[in-house]
Each structure stands twice: as structure tokens, then as C-alpha cells.
Amino acid sequence: MTDSKTQVAVIGAGPGGYAAAFLAADNGMAVTLIDPAENPGGTCLYRGCMPSKSLLHVSRLITEAAEARAWGISFGVPDIDLSALRQWKTHVTNGLTQGLGRLMAQRKITYHRASAAFADPTALILTPDTGQSRRLTFDHAIVATGSSPAVLPLFPEGDFRIWNSTQALALEMIPETLLVVGGGYIGLELGSVYAALGTQVTVVEALPHLLAGADRDLVRFLQKGLTDRFEAILLDTTVTSIKLQEDGVTAEFSGAGAETIANKSFQRVLVAVGRRPHTAGLALENAGVTLDQKGFIRVNDQCRTTADTIFAVGDVAGDPMLAHKAAHDARIAVEAILGKGATGKRAFIPAVVFTDPEVAWVGLTETEAREKKISVETARFPWAASGRAATLGRSDGLTKMIIDPATKHILGVGIVGPGAGELIAEAVLAMEMGATPTDVGHCVHPHPTLSETLKEVADSFDGIATHYYRPKRKP
Ligand code: NAD
């Protein structure tokens, strides 16, 4: 077995892993990045964020073309060339992963297409698909192996009728009917894609509401939009058994929506019930790295594991399982290795669901405040009062702010509406800067834009919003 040595070994080349590898290399360290794929990218680029957002862009185009009828513009029924669409999605993904490959080469990072397992706290065994294993010793290692779709025993894995997000994104066919199990990020995003492509989509969600982490008043707008586009959304409902048919599945349900879909069959089923941290095969026990009760690698505020020289970032190191959280973790871990910066301060991590309308939030939600009995004040600005939203024909939005009644600092912001994912970035900046609504209200926002909804909601808290009347609060 050949031996080599590196300063930093990074296992997994997704947004957490490649961000860590690039930053460590930019700081002059010798870096080895390990992943079985041809180029860096991980789940996000190969079978997650990027392909799904390419397809969501297409679905938005299809639905917007249909909506244009209300403005006097009629297009024909879309003619979908599935093979061309698949090629376009792959073209986007390949362009991005190849770009990362070039950035990695420019930084002189050593890349091994292999799987890694710990031999001890200072060494890894790298096993390629073909060829000999090699031993790599390191000063520091960063585990960034991400997560994989959660499975439900009811649904046989690998069956062509049962999809997880990877199979749904493969875009092999457009089923006539699709049962989506789980009304979270993936179920609603990919459900939207297939509904736009012409599939009759039924969502069953075990909880009494969609998107458990988001505030109800935001989700309400999305649910209304999806109710028009989906065949059915059944809350408080679960699948109790399934029967595989030649080219489909019949299912039995229990809960509130069970009667509505009794005896229905579906050509395909998409199971989207969460993701699980990916630690299998890493032999973490050889390195003294331990897991918490949920199977995440246990880390401290610096992303350091229970082994002093080993760090873990991204999905494998805990919720939220979001690419930008992984990239932020990567910065914390590398700064800790460099012995600089890493204060351990956790940042505000925004969440965005790329449906239509988009739902985005950051910091404290009103629901969480209520559950934890945290006293808050709130302000809301309905997009029905936004000129820009009117010009887009999209008054189906809301911007809200959650404020600390004592300090007047902004504790959270929630937005629903087209482009909410872009708008939330301003809220993140304001919160990181410790801004109050008055600070945001003093910032000049370009007119006419949806960004003004952030200024208006801030002004509305102070009782001075121009386009929305909300009397000043009594002190
Ligand atoms: P999720 O946690 O967002 O949603 C899963 C949903 O399934 C939940 O609402 C849950 O109540 C429901 N559920 C669980 N068991 C069920 C059952 N037996 N029957 C019916 N419903 C059931 O998980 P996801 O949609 O699979 O996505 C996984 C993770 O991937 C997300 O949490 C997110 O972190 C990440 N992700 C993010 C984005 C984005 O940033 N836009 C997009 C996709 C995925």
C-alpha cells in the first residue's frame, strides 16, 4: 500500500468539503480532497440544489407562460422534449462541477477519487473504485460526507416505481400520477417540477402542516398556490401499506386525508421524508470520533469532533442540512485549524424553499418564539401593498419581521413571494449587524423593487410605512 502525507485531508467534496479544501489551500496549507466523483460538487451540484433549481426555473417558465393569459398573452400548450431538458440540466451541472475541478487544480489541491475510512486518529485508508488502496496520514482531517435520503421500510429501495430525490431528478419519464410522501423542502420543490411538466401530483404529509420549520402565515400563501397546481395536498395523513403494480403502486392511507385518496393508484411515488447524516464506512470509531443520538457527528462550536485533530462540517455535523450552512461550517473549521478567527459564534443561517412562491426565513420564527415562550413584537407588510409586486401580478407575498421588544433588535425575518430567497440576504446582513427596524428603515431601497418590502415592514414597525397604514405603537 502506498503512503502519502498531507496537512489537511478533506473527506467529501460537496459545498462543505470543497469550501474547506479551497480555504485551507488559499491559506497555504497542503490539502488532499477525497471523493468518489470525477469533480468536486457533492449532492448539491450533482443531485440536489443545482439540478433541482434548473428544473424549478423551467417549471416557473411554464406556469408563468400560462399565467400570462390573464394579461392578454396566450402561449400554446408547452411541447416538452424530455431528453433535451435532461441534457440542459446535465449541461448546467457539468459546467459547474468542471469549473470546481479547475478551481481545485489552480489551488494545487491533490484530489483522490476514492472512499476514505479512518485507520486511526492521524491516518486514512483511501480505496478507489479500481486499483490499490493507499494510506494517507494527516495533521488535520475535515469530514464533510453530507447526508443521504431517509428511507421508510414500507417502500422497497431500488424499485423503479419508488423514487427518492436522486431518481426524481434523473428525469427519466414524466409520470401521469405521482404520490409525494412528505411535504417538506424536497416534496414541495420536486412536486412543483413534476406538476409543471404535467403530472398529477398528490402530497401526503404526516404533520398537520407543510414545511414544519416555517411560520404558518408564510406557508399559507404557498399552500394556496400549490393547491391550484397539485391534484391534492393531504395533511395529517400517512401511507400505511402499498401494493406494487406492473407500472405503478396502490397505497392505503390513514389520517385526515385517507378517505379522499382511498383506492387510488399512482404511477410513481417520491419518498421525501428527510435526510440522514452519512457516516457509514468511515470507521469513525478507529479515530475516536463519536456520534450523537440522531447519528450526527458530535462537534463543538468550532466544528471540532471528539478527536482533537478531526473536524466535521455540513449535513454530517447536524441540522440544518443546507449547503450554505456547510460552507459556513467549513470556514469555522479551517479558521480553527489555522488558530485564528474561530470564535465559535454560530451565524444566522437562512432557509429558502424554492417553490413558487418562494418561502424564506432567518433567525427566530414566530412559531419558535411562541413554543419557547420568548416575548417578541412582530410587523408584517403584505405584498398587496407593494407597487413592484402589482407590476409582476404577484401580490401573493408577505414580508414579516420579529423584533426583541426590549432592545428593538431584529430577531428574525420571514418572506414569502417570488424572489424571497434573494431578498432574505438583506435580512441576514441586518441581523448580523445587530440592526433595528429603524436602521433598516433609514436605508434607501431602490424603487420600484420587492426589496422595498423590507424597508416597509421595518417602517411599519415604527408606524410610518408609506404604503401600509399601521398606527404607531404606544410606548
Ligand atoms: P424535510 O425534513 O424538509 O421534510 C420531510 C417531511 O416529511 C416533513 O414535513 C415530515 O413531517 C414528513 N414526513 C416524515 N415521515 C413521513 C411519513 N411517513 N409520511 C408522510 N410524511 C412524512 O425533508 P426533505 O424534504 O426530505 O429534505 C431533506 C433536507 O434536505 C431538508 O431538511 C433540507 O435541509 C434539505 N433540502 C434543502 C433544500 C433547499 O435549501 N431549498 C431543498 C431540498 C432539500
pLDDT tens digits for range 237-287: 999 999 999 999 999 999 999 998 888 899 999 999 999 999 999 999 999
Q: pLDDT value at position 343?
A: 60
Dihedral angle sign, alpha carbons of residues 184, 187, 188, 189: positive
Tell me which of 47, 147, 169, 185 to substitute to probe ligand 1's pocket, judged by most ligand atoms within 8 Å of the beta carbon.
185
Q: What is the mean pLDDT of the chain?
A: 96
Q: Specify whether the CB–CB gap between 50 and 92 falls below 8 A.
A: yes
Q: Give 291's DSSP letter.
A: B
Q: pLDDT value at position 105?
A: 98
Here the cell at position 206 is 404526516
How far apart CA 427 and CA 410 sit, in angstroms, is 9
- Helices and strands of the chain, counted as H and E runs: 13, 22
Distance 227 CA to ligand 1 centre (A): 19
Q: pLDDT value at position 47?
A: 97
Strand (E) or helix (H) holding 61: helix 49-67
Tell me which of 275, 362, 367 to substitute to probe ligand 1's pocket, judged by most ligand atoms within 8 Å of the beta carbon.
275
Residues with CB under 6 A from ligand 1: 152, 181-187, 189, 204-207, 212, 238, 272-275, 320-322, 352-354
Atom of ligand 1 nearest to the CA of 182: 7
Here the cell at position 256 is 385526515
Q: Give 130's DSSP letter.
A: S
Within 8 A by CB and 6+ apart from 80, the residues are 174, 197, 198
Distance 200 CA to ligand 1 centre (A): 20
Q: Give 179's DSSP letter.
A: E
Q: Which residue has the least CA distance to atom 3 on ligand 1?
A: 184
Distance 187 CA to ligand 1 centre (A): 7
Annotate 379-434 with DSSP letters as a single string. Answer: EEEEGGG-HHHHHTT----EEEEEE-TTT--EEEEEEEETTHHHHHHHHHHHHHTT
pTM of the model: 0.97
The answer on pLDDT for 148 being more than 70 is yes
Q: How many CB atoms sit inside 10 A of residue 87's CB?
A: 11
Strands 410-417 and 358-363: antiparallel
Average pLDDT rounded to a whole number, residues 454-471: 93
pLDDT tens digits for range 190-219: 999 999 999 999 999 999 999 999 999 999
The answer on pLDDT for 387 being more than 70 is yes
How far apart CA 104 and CA 37 sit, in angstroms, is 14
Distance 278 CA to ligand 1 centre (A): 16
Average pLDDT rounded to a whole number, residues 58-66: 97
Q: pLDDT value at position 424?
A: 98
Q: pLDDT value at position 282?
A: 98
Q: What is the CA radius of gyration of the chain?
A: 24
How far apart CA 418 and CA 415 sit, in angstroms, is 9
How far apart CA 225 and CA 357 sit, in angstroms, is 7
Identify the CA nearest to 322 among candidates 356, 348, 351. 351
Q: Which positions are annotated as active-site residues?
A: 447
Distance 383 CA to ligand 1 centre (A): 28
Atom of ligand 1 nearest to the CA of 185: 25
Average pLDDT rounded to a whole number, residues 462-472: 89
Q: Which residue has the least CA distance to atom 4 on ligand 1?
A: 184
Q: Which residue has the least CA distance to atom 34 on ligand 1?
A: 321
